[in-house]
Amino acid sequence: MKKIAPSILSADFARLGDEIKDVALAGADYIHIDVMDGHFVPNITIGPLIVEAVRPVTTLPLDVHLMIENPDQYIATFVKAGADIISVHVEACPHLHRTIHAIKAAGVKAGLVINPATSIEHVRPIIKDLDLLLFMTVNPGFGGQQFIPTVLEQIKIVNRWRSELNLEFEIEVDGGINAETAKLCADAGVDVFVAGSAIFNQPDRRQAILSIRQAVQ
């Protein structure tokens, strides 16, 4: 079953609880939360306080995407705040094996994120330890950017590695995802589709989620 993960980065932050309830009712599978520190990426967004505040609002898994330097330092805090999946960028982790295992040891699912211009060879040594592999399909930092199609080739290769090795981690995409680009990603082997503006900028969230779901099934 393909999964849809609305990114709250495009939600109305003055009404965040209601926005999350709205997409949950509209059929979301995960709630994607973009944490940015103004160092690893040029934008500053959400911290653990917001994760903690939205935790009681939904039973859906909170898919926390850390776009921060020194993610190791914050794993325990995000777990305590209620994260179910914590994903870290390969570019931000000099001791990636340690970081991925620290996330798992903290009792949540571990995801690895890879930027559009980062070699997928970085994934190989850690591939068996992942619960999720997130391909950025834009350069991280902002919602509403345009999908970068060259990532599709990288996804296809990793999807092949996954079947050859008989692994079950989920492949997720994030950035510029709408019904049309989601279909291209689904054909390349993607399971989880993050969408911010294509869901939250639409008045009818049920219809927005449905059109992505129909495109990928």
Question: CA distances (Å), 126 to each of 41, 76, 153, in order?
Answer: 24, 21, 20
Give the residue with the Cβ less far from ligand DX5, 43 or 101: 43
Q: Is-catalytic flag, 174?
A: yes
- Catalytic entry in 34, 63, 131, 191: 34
CB 176 within 8 A of CB 139: no
**In the block, which residue shows the tokens 């509209």?**
26
With binding defined as CB under 6 A, does residue 87 bind ligand DX5? Answer: no
Enter the tokens of residue 46: 């959400």
Residue 65 within binding range of ligand DX5, rule CB under 6 A: yes
Q: Could you tell me how many residues of this chain bind Zn ion (CB under 5 A)?
A: 3
Query: Edge-to-edge strand order for the sheet containing 3-6?
Result: 3-6, 192-195, 170-174, 132-136, 109-114, 85-89, 62-67, 31-36
Nearest residue to Zn ion, using CB?
A: 65
48 binds ligand DX5 (CB under 6 A): no
Q: With binding defined as CB under 6 A, does residue 198 bind ligand DX5?
A: yes
Q: For binding to ligand DX5 (CB under 6 A), which residues are involved?
A: 7, 9-10, 32, 34, 65, 138, 140-145, 174-177, 194-198
Q: Which residues are catalytic?
A: 34, 174
